[in-house]
Structure 1
Amino acid sequence: MKKLFILLTTLSLLFISTTFISANADGIKNLSKSAILLEAETGTVICKSNEKARLPIASMTKIMLLNLCFENIEQGNLSLDEDITVSKNASGMGGSQVFLEANSKYKAKDLIKSVIIASANDASVALAERLYGSETECVSVMNAKCVEWKLDNTLFSNCTGLPKPTQYSSAEDVAIMLKHLISHKDYFSYSNIWMDEIKHSGDRVTGLTNTNKLVKFYDGCDGGKTGYTSESGFCLAATAKRGGLRLISVVINSPDSKSRFNEVSNMFNYGFDNYTSKMVIDSSKPLEIDVKIGKSKNDKIEIKPINDVFVFSKRNEKEKITIDFNPIEKCAPVSKGEKVGELIVFRSGVEYKRVDVVTTCDVQVKTYFDYIKDIAKNWSL
C-alpha cells in the first residue's frame, strides 16, 4: 500500500481567553420578560435573563417555518422559482398579510420574501400548505424539529404565531432556531432587504417594508424576525455581524416597539465591545506540505482546509491556541479535493474544533520514466 505522510509544523499563537457571562451583563437593562445574547457559530451564551421562560412569541414562530422552507429547497423538494397556487384558506388569514389572491399563483421566492420582510401570515400558510399539504401537518413537522433540536420550551399550534393558548417558546429556543436559519445560504438574500414589493395579477402591487428596523439602523444587522400580539408583547430576534463575530439576540415581551429594538441594540453593543472572533484557519489560503508517498511523483502537495475556523473569546485576555495536523493514509493516486487529513484546533490544550483538509491538485503515481529520472539524478550526486 502506498501511504501518504504529510508533515505540518504545529502552529502556536497567543489569543484571547474565554470568560463568559452566565447572567445579565452589567450596563444592560432589560425591560422585556425574557432575553438572551449568544455568539452565533458556537452558540456560546454571553448574557441572559429568564431565557427559559415559556412565553408567547407571536410571529417569531415563522423562524421555524422558514427553516423548513430552506431545508426543503436544499433537499430539492421546493424551488425558489416554483409557482405556488394560493388557497382560499391561506388568502383569508388575518393579521399581517400581503393580500394574496385566492387561486392565484406566486413564486415561492416571493412568498418567502413576504414572510421574511413583512411577516405575512397569508404567505406563511401558503408555504405550509405547499410543503406539507396543510398547516396542521406543517405544525407537526415544526414540533418534530423542536424535538430534534432539543427545544424543550417550545410548542407550536400554528405556523403564523397568531394567538393560541397552547403555543409558546423561550428566548433561548428562539435564538437556537435563528442560529439554524442563518446557516441557510439563501436566507440572507432576503433578510437584509429594507423595502421591496410583491406583484399580484394585473397591475396590483403590495409594498413590503422590513419589520426589523435594525437592518436599516444598526450597523451589521442583516437578519431577524419581529413579533407582536397583545399576549406576546413586542418581540424581536435579530442577528448582526462585525468582522468575524456574529451575534444573535432575542427579547420577548418588551413593553413597546422602541424598547425591543433598543434592548437588542444594547446587547449587540455589549457583545461587540467586549468579545471578538479571530480567524485561526483560513480556507482561502492553501498550504504546501512535504509529502512522502511510496510511488508518487509529487514530493510536495498543496492542501487546504474546507472551512474557516474562528475562535470566539473575551477581549484583552490571552490564552494559547495550537493547531495540529492529523494526516490519514492514502494510496496514490490522490484526486483533487480528496480528504487527506484534518486540522485540530486546541485552546489551552483542550480540543476546540476540527476541520477537514483536502488536496488542491491531483497526486500522480510515479511512472517508470520518473524512476529513471530519480536514478539519474541520484547518480549524478
Structure 2
Amino acid sequence: MLLLFIYSSVVTAEQETEELAEDATSAFVMEADTGQVLYDKNGEEKLPPASMTKIMTLLLIMESLEEGNIQLDEKVTTSERAASMGGSQIFLEEGEEMTVDELLRGIAIASGNDASVAMAEHVAGTEDKFIEQMNEKAKELGLNNTTFQNTTGLPSDDHYTTANDLAVISQALLRYDNVLEYTSLYEDYLREGKDNEFWLVNTNPLVRHYDGVDGLKTGFTKEAKYNLTATAKKDGMRIITVLMGAETPKERNHLSAELLDFAFQNHDYHVLAEKGDNVTDVRVEKGKQTTVPVTLRKNAAVVLPKGKQLNDITTEIDILETVTAPAKRHDEIGTLQFYENGELLTERSLVLKEEAPSASWPVLFKRTLSTMTGQVS
C-alpha cells in the first residue's frame, strides 16, 4: 500500500504563533547550532516521552563509539532479557549475534526495544547501569525535568522528560554527524538473504516526505500519545522540533511539518565567524613555541527573523594572558563575544588551535639566557 504525505503548509510570522501545534500537548523549536529557541509551547511540562527516550540511548552509544569503548563491527550477543522486550522490536532471539552497526539501525530506523536493551547491556554491562548513565548525562546537560527508568520508553512510573529537554538531548546527539547516517534511512534490511530477513521501515515518515529531514525519533504509547522529534537542515541552518501529545500519527506528522515550515520560512542563519579561523594568539610559558593561535570551538552564528540585517557588529575577546605548556589542542582558554549596537548577540568558546608541547631544558635555558642578555631567540 502506497502512503502519500503532502506537506504544503505555510506559516508566516504574521500569524499568531499560538496557532502552532494547537492540538498537541507540548511543542518546542530550536536551532541546533546556536541553541536559539524559536518557539515554545508548554516546553517545560513533564510528559512521558515513549520511544523518544531512545534519543538519549543513541547519545550514549555514540559517545561510547567516539571514546573507542565499542566498535561498529563488533558482535553483540542478545540476552534473554533483551529478546523478551515487547512493543517495537526487530525480533532478536536469545543468543543471536548482531553487530553494533546492525543494532544501531534497529534502534534508529525501527525503534527496536530489543535492540536498545541489547546495546545498553553491551555498553554498560547491565541495562540498570546504562540507565544510571542516562540520568547522569541528563544532569550533565543541565536537565532538571528529566528522569529515565528504562532505555526504551515503554510505560514506567517516574519516567518523564520535556519538549525542551528532548531538544537539548537531540542537540547533543547531533554533534555526532554519523548518527544521521542511521536516522536518515527510510528503509533497510537486517539478516539480509536469510530466512528470517527483516525489513526496517523508518517510523518517521518525514524522512521521506519532507525535504531536508534526516532524523530523529518518533514515540507512541497510549499514555504519551503520538510524538516526534524531527530535525532538518536547509541553507546551513539545522532545526530541531519536538512535538508531544498528538492524537493521531497523521496529526503528529502534519503539526511537526508546520513547526519546520515556521522555522525555515521565518528565520535566517547568519555566520559571524567560522570554526578554524585564527582569532588571535596566546603566549605560551615553558612551551616549544612562544605563542599558539586561538580559534573558535564552533561557528559563531545567530538566527534572526527573515529580512532582518545585522548592523554595527563589534567583538570582544576575553582569554587567558598565557597558557603553560604542555597544553592540548582544543583546550578552552576564553570566549569571543559578538555585540550589535552594544547588545550581546552570542558568545562562543575560544580554544587552542594547535598543541603546545613543553620546551626542552636546553631551549628553556637558551631562552632565559637570551632574555637576560637582551637577545631575541
Please state which band the TM-score falls in when normalised by the shorter chain: 0.7 to 0.9
2:348 counterpart (351, 354, 360): 354
Aligned partners of 2:149 and 2:331: how far apart in 1?
A: 45
Give the corresponding residue for 1:104.
Answer: 96
1:316 counterpart (278, 300, 307): 307
Aligned partners of 1:359 and 1:154: how far apart in 2?
A: 36
Change over 3 Å in CA distance of 1:357–1:34 after alignment to 2 = closer
Aligned partners of 1:338 and 1:29: how far apart in 2?
A: 41
Alignment of 1:146-225 (within 5 A): 146-199=138-191, 202-225=194-217
TM-score, normalising length: structure 2? 0.78
Q: In structure 2, the residue corresponding to 1:77 is in which secondary structure?
A: coil
Q: In structure 2, the residue corresponding to 1:228 is in which secondary structure?
A: strand
Change over 3 Å in CA distance of 1:309–1:91 after alignment to 2 = same
Q: Does 1:238 align with 2:226?
A: no
Q: Which moved more, 1:94-103 or 1:315-324?
A: 315-324
Change over 3 Å in CA distance of 1:232–1:359 after alignment to 2 = closer
Alignment length (residue pairs):
341
Change over 3 Å in CA distance of 1:149–1:282 after alignment to 2 = closer
Change over 3 Å in CA distance of 1:338–1:353 after alignment to 2 = closer
Who wins on radius of gyration, i.e. which is larger? 1
Shift of the alpha carbon at 1:74? 1.2
Change over 3 Å in CA distance of 1:303–1:139 after alignment to 2 = closer
Q: In structure 2, the residue corresponding to 1:38 is in which secondary structure?
A: strand
Aligned partners of 1:124 and 1:55: how far apart in 2?
A: 21
Contact 1:100–1:200 (CA under 8 A) maintained in structure 2: no
Contact 1:233–1:252 (CA under 8 A) maintained in structure 2: yes
Contact 2:24–2:247 (CA under 8 A) maintained in structure 1: yes
What value does the CA root-mean-square deviation take over the aligned residues?
3.6
Q: Residues 153-193 of structure 1, C-alpha deviation per residue, up to 9 Å, x if partnerless?
A: 22211111111122121111111111111112321121111
**Unmatched 5+ stretches in structure 2:** 1-12, 283-291, 357-362, 364-377
**Higher relative contact order structure (alpha carbons within 8 Å, sequence separation ≥ 6):** 1
Contact 1:91–1:101 (CA under 8 A) maintained in structure 2: yes
Q: Does 1:33 align with 2:34?
A: no
Q: Residues 229-279 of structure 1, C-alpha deviation per residue, up to 9 Å, x if partnerless?
A: 111100101111111211111111101001111111111111111111111
**Unmatched 5+ stretches in structure 1:** 1-20, 292-300, 366-381
Q: Which moved more, 1:156-165 or 1:318-327?
A: 318-327
Aligned partners of 1:54 and 1:290: how far apart in 2?
A: 46
Give the corresponding residue for 1:374.
Answer: none
Shift of the alpha carbon at 1:145? 1.9
Aligned partners of 1:200 and 1:160: how far apart in 2?
A: 25
Give the corresponding residue for 1:114.
Answer: 106
